[in-house]
Amino acid sequence: MEAFSDGVFAVAITVLVFGLRPTGNGTLTQQLLHSWPQYLAYVVSFITIGIMWMNHHTILAHVARVDRPLLVLNLLLLMGVVAIPFPTALVAEHLQHKGASATAAAVTYGLVMIAISFGFAGLWIYVVTHAPSLGASLPPEALRSSIPGFTGGLIAYVVGTLIALISPLAAVIIYGALGVYYLFEHLPSPSSEAEPDPADG
Amino acid sequence: MEAFSDGVFAVAITVLVFGLRPTGNGTLTQQLLHSWPQYLAYVVSFITIGIMWMNHHTILAHVARVDRPLLVLNLLLLMGVVAIPFPTALVAEHLQHKGASATAAAVTYGLVMIAISFGFAGLWIYVVTHAPSLGASLPPEALRSSIPGFTGGLIAYVVGTLIALISPLAAVIIYGALGVYYLFEHLPSPSSEAEPDPADG
Amino acid sequence: MEAFSDGVFAVAITVLVFGLRPTGNGTLTQQLLHSWPQYLAYVVSFITIGIMWMNHHTILAHVARVDRPLLVLNLLLLMGVVAIPFPTALVAEHLQHKGASATAAAVTYGLVMIAISFGFAGLWIYVVTHAPSLGASLPPEALRSSIPGFTGGLIAYVVGTLIALISPLAAVIIYGALGVYYLFEHLPSPSSEAEPDPADG
Amino acid sequence: MEAFSDGVFAVAITVLVFGLRPTGNGTLTQQLLHSWPQYLAYVVSFITIGIMWMNHHTILAHVARVDRPLLVLNLLLLMGVVAIPFPTALVAEHLQHKGASATAAAVTYGLVMIAISFGFAGLWIYVVTHAPSLGASLPPEALRSSIPGFTGGLIAYVVGTLIALISPLAAVIIYGALGVYYLFEHLPSPSSEAEPDPADG
């Protein structure tokens, strides 16, 4: 399952490059400068998918055995991750258009992120609640202690989506910040003795 | 072989995102709402490829050695799986057009699924009938007991394709339901002691 | 090296699906029937890349260690393999246009195949001539015994490219037949005891 | 981490084929001959990504354990590598247009390469300075001895980018030569006893 998931993450993060191409009028230099929302959307989505991959990896590292429900939950999560280039392209194209289309693009981005947050929560809750049968060594407290971090991230994506109604650009910056947030608010590592994590120290 | 196949499944499932882009007239919000057949086609094909990957994995998990005929049968199966984004795009674009083009799109989708069903049947029959030389521990009864499930799925895809002549939308929903059907009508797992499957319990 | 190469083959074979889309005038059904060169080009290139992957795998299975020259030769080979979707798209688009453009498309396809044949020959010759330092157990006779098969394939691709000047369609069919030829004219397997190959029996 | 990175490199190198398609006026043969900047850009970027993959592999082969900062530095490096098809397409399209647009394309290519050079330097410096906690057996001198090679390459990319202001074509050829330079100016191999490297002999 991990090889397949890694492949999906790798392809999804790489196809983001198709969102980069000069648009608008004028010389090529003017077009390249004018296309800054593409670069912003590329960076935000690249960091987001990359950090999602890390956290996905951390979740699966707890698991020694895989069952069908876990595969299905993983598939539903990947369905959201694979979709990310879609709202990324919307934001890249419409962020500069004042008004309703920029808002629609940023709201769509937020809705995809909210769906993915539920996907991650579902996968993690399943792993923790089925720890013994999955060969995981997680105590039930692991779930409770990770709930605030997950819930906080989900609420922040909802707030970001609401802010998109007022300022689409601010919302996109919030989405990028949330990617970085998940870098630090990470799950318990599977074997903290074997892999000391300097970020914790 | 498994790494290559996993990579092909991972890329095929990820390129489905290219089928998502706003079409039609009006504001971006109107376009996004108008593009619902794209989301339906995305979800149906994503689930279908994902569950095909799981069943492909289950088949290969029985095999300890690989020979040339198996590689060729696997390649023919992948030729069908890789093609899925093609009828997916047809359905996404034409499902809303009343009449012949929606029918042609949904029939094409069904024909690809029928071809893939034959590919899976061929791969599975080869594995079961050559179990000793492939290092598989499958008894010959495994084939007989899995025939009803496979045949049922194939007949259902044929029925779905015929229904596409009357109602393309109903056919697409049937294709989605068949993806879920194959989730439950699964093959004998290779090592049921080592990997207890809660879906069976 | 093998994981990277497998990934490249997997992506190159999967992007062939982008060559499938209805073209021409008339109803969707007419367009789908009219697009038969796309399906032909898809099948020929899919089989070609798939069997190239198998033979690539067989070559690398001989090698226990990897050095820089081998990596570079492998990279040059992959540069040809990755290019295959390009002449595939040319053939798919121009095969029905009578005259010079169909010829140009089929000749380009043949030239890419000739380049890849040299790439395979280079990789194989390097492996055989450096067998001891690569940890391969190949006797020097392995090279001599495989030369006729390789040379035959190369000459056949040159002949196919020349035939493209007269009949592009015949050339494309020859390219497909050559893919199948390489399926049977295969290299010595690395461990014939461990993996009995029924195709030889 | 390596499987994910390998996947990203494999996809990034394969999507370069999308930059190949006949452009311009005239017969298909004339268009194919006229599109030579596409082939040049394809070859330069293919070699560049391929050799970057090799050096990336060499760096990671030193590392026995992975921590969060290493994952983040790796992600930032991949953000540059994945972007390469973007300036490749710019160069392919604009190299023949005399004047400002060819310059803008070649400068953009150089800027991406400079960013990637910093990414590689950051990853390598982190590995060397955190060798004990990453389980690497690198002495601190390894860093000092590799600085001249890295610095030389970075300065050469800056020079190439400046030359792009005068001759975009010359700059692109320099970029290709730099890819080959990094093939020879390589990092200390992780286990020189186990994998004798003929390129050093």
Contact status, residue B196 vs residue A67, Cβ threshold 8 Å? yes
Name the average pLDDT for chain B.
Answer: 86
> Closest Cα to residue B160, out of B146, B147, B175, B148?
B175
Contact status, residue C174 vs residue C160, Cβ threshold 8 Å? yes
In chain A, which stretches have pLDDT less than 70? Answer: 140, 185-187, 189-201
The alpha carbon of residue C85 is apart from the nearest alpha carbon of chain B, in Å, by 14
Q: Which amino acid is at A83?
A: A
Chain D neighbors (3+ CB pairs < 8 Å):
A, B, C
Residues in chain B, total? 201
* Residue among C66, C82, C93, C133 with most chain D CBs within 10 A, to mutate: C82
| C35 Cβ contact partners less than 8 Å away, ≥ 6 residues apart | C20, C21, C22, C23, C24, C92
Contact status, residue D187 vs residue D58, Cβ threshold 8 Å? yes
Q: Please give the pLDDT value at position B181.
A: 83
Nearest C-alpha in C relative to D192: C67
Q: Please give the pLDDT value at position A40.
A: 94
Tens of pLDDT along B11-25?
999 999 999 998 888
Nearest to D69 among A20, A194, A199 (CB): A199
Tens of pLDDT along B71-102?
999 999 999 999 999 999 999 999 988 788 99
ipTM score: 0.88
Residue whose tokens read 């394809």: D42
Nearest to A4 among B10, B32, B42 (CB): B10
Tens of pLDDT along B93-142?
999 887 889 999 999 999 999 999 999 988 988 888 888 888 877 776 77
What's the rounded mean pLDDT across residues C16-38?
90
Residue whose tokens read 């040299």: C118
Tens of pLDDT along B38-48?
999 999 999 99
Contact status, residue B90 vs residue C17, Cβ threshold 8 Å? no
Contact status, residue D168 vs residue D102, Cβ threshold 8 Å? yes
Q: Please give the pLDDT value at position C195.
A: 38
Q: Please give the pLDDT value at position B89.
A: 94
Look up residue D134 and give its two tokens. Answer: 């990453």
Look up residue B20 and give its two tokens. Answer: 């998502």
| A27 Cβ contact partners less than 8 Å away, ≥ 6 residues apart | D100, D101, D104
Separation CA C123–CA C139 (nearest Å): 16
Question: Cα C181 vs. chain centroid, distance in angstroms?
Answer: 11
Contact (CB<8Å) D11/B7:
no
Separation CA D90–CA A31 (nearest Å): 12
* Residue among A14, A27, A45, A88 with most chain D CBs within 10 A, to mutate: A14
The CB density around residue A107, as the number of other CB atoms within 10 Å, is 22
Contact status, residue D69 vs residue D141, Cβ threshold 8 Å? no
> Closest Cα to residue A156, out of A121, A110, A187?
A110
Cβ density class B168-183: b for 16+ within 10 Å, e for less: bbebbebbbebbeebb
Among A9-13, C64-68, C94-98, the range with the most confident prediction by mean pLDDT is A9-13
Nearest C-alpha in A relative to D65: A195
- A19: DSSP letter: G
Split at pLDDT 50, 70, 90, the class of D201 is very low
Look up residue B167 and give its two tokens. Answer: 């109602």
Q: Please give the pLDDT value at position D195.
A: 38
Q: Please give the pLDDT value at position D190.
A: 64
Look up residue B106 and give its two tokens. Answer: 């949904």
Residue whose tokens read 């105590």: A139
Residue whose tokens read 């990789």: C123
Q: Considering all CA atoms of chain B, what is the largest pairwise distance in Å, rounded to the nearest integer?
A: 62
CA angle C69, A3, A40 (to 5 degrees): 85
Q: Which amino acid is at A105?
A: A
Nearest to B14 among A8, A72, A75 (CB): A8
Residues of D in contact with A42 (CB under 8 A): 83
First and final CA of chain D: distance in angstroms? 31
Q: Looking at the predicted structure, is the pLDDT value of residue C157 above 90?
A: yes
Separation CA D17–CA D39 (nearest Å): 10
**More confident call, D136 vs A119:** A119
Residue whose tokens read 């029996």: C201
Residues in chain D, total? 201
The CB density around residue A190, as the number of other CB atoms within 10 Å, is 18
Contact status, residue D168 vs residue D97, Cβ threshold 8 Å? no
Tens of pLDDT along D63-119?
888 888 999 999 999 999 999 999 999 999 999 887 889 999 999 999 999 999 999
Residue whose tokens read 């991949």: D78
**More confident call, A182 vs B165:** B165
